Amino acid sequence: MKAPALKPRKEFLVFGSPLIEEAEIAEVVDTLRSGWIGTGPKVKKFEELVRAYKGVKFAVAVNSCTAALHLSLLALDLKPGDEVITTPMTFCATLNAILHAGARPVLVDCGRESQNIDPALIEKKITRKTRAILPVHFAGRSCDMDALTLVAKKHRLALVEDCAHAVETEYRGRKAGTFGEFGALSFYVTKNITTAEGGMVITDDAAHADKIKVLALHGMSQDAWKRFSDDGYKHYEVVAPGFKYNMTDMAAALGIHQLPRVERYWSRRQELWRRYDAALQGLPCFLPPPPEPETRHAYHLYTPHIDVDRLGKTRDQVLHELTKLKIGTGVHYLALHLQPYYRKLLGHKPGDFPNAEFISERTLSIPLSAKLTDEDAADVVEALRAVLR
Ligand X SMILES: *Cc1c(COP(=O)(O)O)cnc(C)c1O
Q: Name the residues that contact ligand X, by CB under 6 A.
A: 64-66, 90-91, 93-94, 136, 162, 164-165, 186, 188, 199
Report the run of H or E that residue 379 belongs to, with start and end.
helix 374-387
- Closest contact distance (angstroms) between CB of 107 and ligand X is 14
Cβ neighbours for 196, distance < 8 A, ≥ 6 positions apart: 187, 188, 189, 251, 254
Kindly list the strands in the beta sheet with 158-163, ordered across the sheet, starting from the edge strand earlier in the chain: 58-62, 199-203, 182-186, 158-163, 130-133, 83-86, 104-107
d(CA 213, CA 236): 14
Judged by CB, which is closer to ligand X: 42, or 165? 165
- Closest contact distance (angstroms) between CB of 8 and ligand X is 29
Judged by CB, which is closer to ligand X: 191, or 381? 191
Sign of CA dihedral 100, 82, 199, 271: positive
Judged by CB, which is closer to ligand X: 136, or 262? 136
- Closest contact distance (angstroms) between CB of 333 and ligand X is 8
Is 142 within 8 Å of 149 (Cβ atoms)?
no
* 191 a catalytic residue: yes
- Closest contact distance (angstroms) between CB of 138 and ligand X is 7
> 291, 294, 290: which is closest to 172 by C-alpha?
294
- Closest contact distance (angstroms) between CB of 310 and ligand X is 29
Taking CA atoms, 356 is separated from 10, 90, 234, in Å, by 36, 10, 52
Sign of CA dihedral 111, 114, 116, 120: negative
d(CA 177, CA 201): 9
- The DSSP output letter for 110 is B
- Closest contact distance (angstroms) between CB of 94 and ligand X is 5
Q: What is the chain's length?
A: 389
Sign of CA dihedral 378, 380, 381, 383: positive
Sign of CA dihedral 124, 130, 131, 137: negative
- Closest contact distance (angstroms) between CB of 167 and ligand X is 12
Alpha helices in 155-261 (DSSP H): 206-216, 249-258
- The DSSP output letter for 285 is E
Exactly one of 191, 234, 326, 371 is catalytic; name it.
Answer: 191
d(CA 1, CA 320): 12
Judged by CB, which is closer to ligand X: 165, or 175? 165
- Active site (catalytic) residues: 191
